[in-house]
Amino acid sequence: MFARPSAFSSNPLSSFFTGYHSTHHSLLARQSRTLRNTTLSSTSQMGDQSLSFTEGGNRYVTWPTDLLSVEPPLENGIIVMVVKLEQSEADALTEASLNRKLADWIALDDVLIPAFLHNILVLVPQPTYLYRSLKTIWGFDCHLHFRKFDSAGIVTLGPHLSVIGRFWQIYRLCDDTQDAFLVTLRPSTHGQRLYKNVAHDHDGSCLSVAVASRLAFLDEKRDLAKYRVALKDAFDLCDTRISLCSKAIYSLYPPQTSSAAAIAPLIGRGIQILGKTKLSAFLAREEPSEAVDYQTAWNPRADGYQSPGGSSSGSAAAVAAYDWLDIGIGTDTNGSIRRPAQCNGVFGLRVSRGVVPAHGMFSVFPTFDVPGLFSRDFEKIVAFVAETYARELLSPDIQGLPRKLVYLTDNMPTQHTEQKQLVMKLVDDLREYLGVDAVAVSLQKLWKDLPPAQVHGESLHDFLKEVGGSTYLFEYYHRFDKFRRKYREKFGKDPFVGHFVQWRWQIGKQYTHAQHQEGMRRMNVYEGWWRHRILEVGKKNTLVVMMSEEVAPRYRDDPPPDCHVQPAWHQWWVSPILGAPEVVIPIGDIPYESRVTRRTERLPVAASLLSEPESDLHLLELTQDFLRKKRRPLVVSAGRDMGMTSHAGQSAVVPTMRTGR
């Protein structure tokens, strides 16, 4: 599935296609309403037929669909835009009203182009006539073909190719230039929700992603069909293999027979999964210079040679790079959503523990592992969460604005850096918005002054120093026991495993079950202290602000950092220990001199907001309202530049971006 075909195969699909290849250009010359300067090729993979063509510098592919047929049929070989109209609207169509519709469609959709609008199939309850012709703003005649269609029926709208009485849906082929996807997918034909490999590439240089018209789902009864999603290859997806970016895992396990419990309901509601994305092998830390089996996804920001961050980096890089992608889905153990969101300059969400089913999501530490989301558009995350899992989480104890605002100082630099200024400006804006004082909290000092009753004189660091190894790394090692055994049984050898994962396993297997239980006990003590002393759960609706790691250039060819056990007092352990939601928001960028481009580039800066467990939607809606009221960006741009400007003491706002009104 991961192999890229070297070129499109020349394999005519039927006598029609054979004839169509030879007569296509004469047909186009005869009909001004069809595509001009179009190159056509065909593929047939495992009985799955497709046609591909180019137009206006873009590449397209079509697959047949069984969702629509009309009588009398339309002419073979024409591109037709399929729409549904109410009877009164169809009868009242004028040249002016048609052109307004065409302009709206073009503005809404990134697949539709004027060349696809020479023919429009208008589905109406009772056609008054079969054919009309109206002049468009582009100067050509638009031919409207009216056909009867039951208003309650299911139909795929948008551009199609008319083929022997059937309609083949047209997708735009978008290049995965950032190498973020392991495999690109689409639903199979015949209305089934099984997934098939797109099986197209761009001259062998990168995979292609098949993107359906946004207009195709305007009549869609399934409410999530509007979302285009990239899915981390840590979730089971029916008919696809899982790899965890390891060739050993990919070779050991067959294609999945069902989809993950968190994903299957979304598929049933129409979500468009465009492909599965890369990650750090074995869900570990993996910098680009450590990747062996599969090259790490490319971070589009700054000079294009910066690390994309942690385990969910493929989904984050894809969202940061591609304006045709809405949502990236990943997982987070102790930073795998939050660090890639920071590095790739996008919004991120780590969800509360236990609110999304975990079956079918590969987990290395079930106490911590949860799904997470990325998007360039914060309001899409809010809407997606509201439409999927979070409405039922609203608690009567979590109402109104937070009455306590905390910011952690433990990982704040002592010097007055640009990053610190941006974080403190965020704190000031939150203080003004909430109307409460901001409380600076040093975890080490608060622990010393007000320790838990179970602690007898130990400092925070002494109390937690073995917790990272005895809990997380212990479970990380044993989670792969079955894999190591089955791989040796099947292949008679050990699998390839990178240096850092081997190091983690060596550390994890040194701990006993008794030490693991003691580590979990200490972690529970720390959680209880946090909930009582800082969050004051159920009393203050507390909001916590945390700075990400220090922002500095991290080039793809930099040697990896030394192996170390991430300590349990690290800021990325807070929300996993609490089981709380955490939102990552870009707050600006800072300049640096790139050794690659030899010019000044800008690195994204982000901060995190954390609230009580199971307050996901409340936190998101609070953050959304805050961003609007303080006129901070709700959207970042795709590509090299986030579209933000930063100045110390000012909000990062650009007039051309969508900000709070």
In three state form, how does the secondary structure of 403-445 look?
CCEEEECCCCCCCCCHHHHHHHHHHHHHHHHHCCCEEEECHHH
For the chain, the residue count is 661
Give the tens place of pLDDT for each residue, 102-142. 999 999 999 999 999 999 999 998 888 888 898 888 999 99
- Both tokens assigned to 155: 């139909």
Work out the pLDDT band at 58, boundaries 50, 70, 90: very high
Instruction: List for the chain the helix, strand, coil content (%; round to 5).
Output: 30, 25, 45
Q: What's the Rg (C-alpha) of the chain?
A: 27
- CA 330 from chain centre, in angstroms, equals 7
Q: Is the pLDDT of residue 394 over 70?
A: no
Distance from C-alpha of 252 to C-alpha of 235, rounded to nearest angstrom: 16
Q: Is the pLDDT of residue 15 over 80?
A: no
The crossing angle, in degrees rounded to 10, of helices 616-629 and 378-388 is 150
> Coil, helix or strand for 646?
coil
Q: Residues of CATH 3.90.1300.10 domain(s) within the chain?
A: 224-392
At 192 the pLDDT is 47
At 395 the pLDDT is 58
At 459 the pLDDT is 97
- Both tokens assigned to 517: 């239980």
Q: Is the pLDDT of residue 392 over 60?
A: yes
Give the tens place of pLDDT for each residue, 515-539. 999 999 999 999 999 999 999 998 9
Q: Environment class of residue 562 by beta-carbon count within 10 Å: exposed (0-12), middle (13-18) or buried (19+)?
A: exposed
Q: Which of 168, 195, 181, 205 is nearest to 325 (CA)?
A: 181
User: What is the amino acid identity at position 420?
Assistant: K
Q: Does domain 224-392 have CATH number 3.90.1300.10?
A: yes
At 203 the pLDDT is 66
Which has the higher per-residue pLDDT, 163 or 44? 163
Work out the pLDDT band at 188, boundaries 50, 70, 90: low
Distance from C-alpha of 132 to C-alpha of 89, rounded to nearest angstrom: 14
User: What is the amino acid identity at position 437?
Assistant: D
- Prior bond of 187 cis (ω within 30°): no
Q: What are phi and psi of 441, to 5 degrees?
A: -125, 125
Give the tens place of pLDDT for each residue, 538-591. 899 999 999 989 999 999 999 999 999 999 999 999 999 999 999 999 999 999
> Cβ(309)–Cβ(219) under 8 Å?
no
> Cβ(561)–Cβ(423) under 8 Å?
no
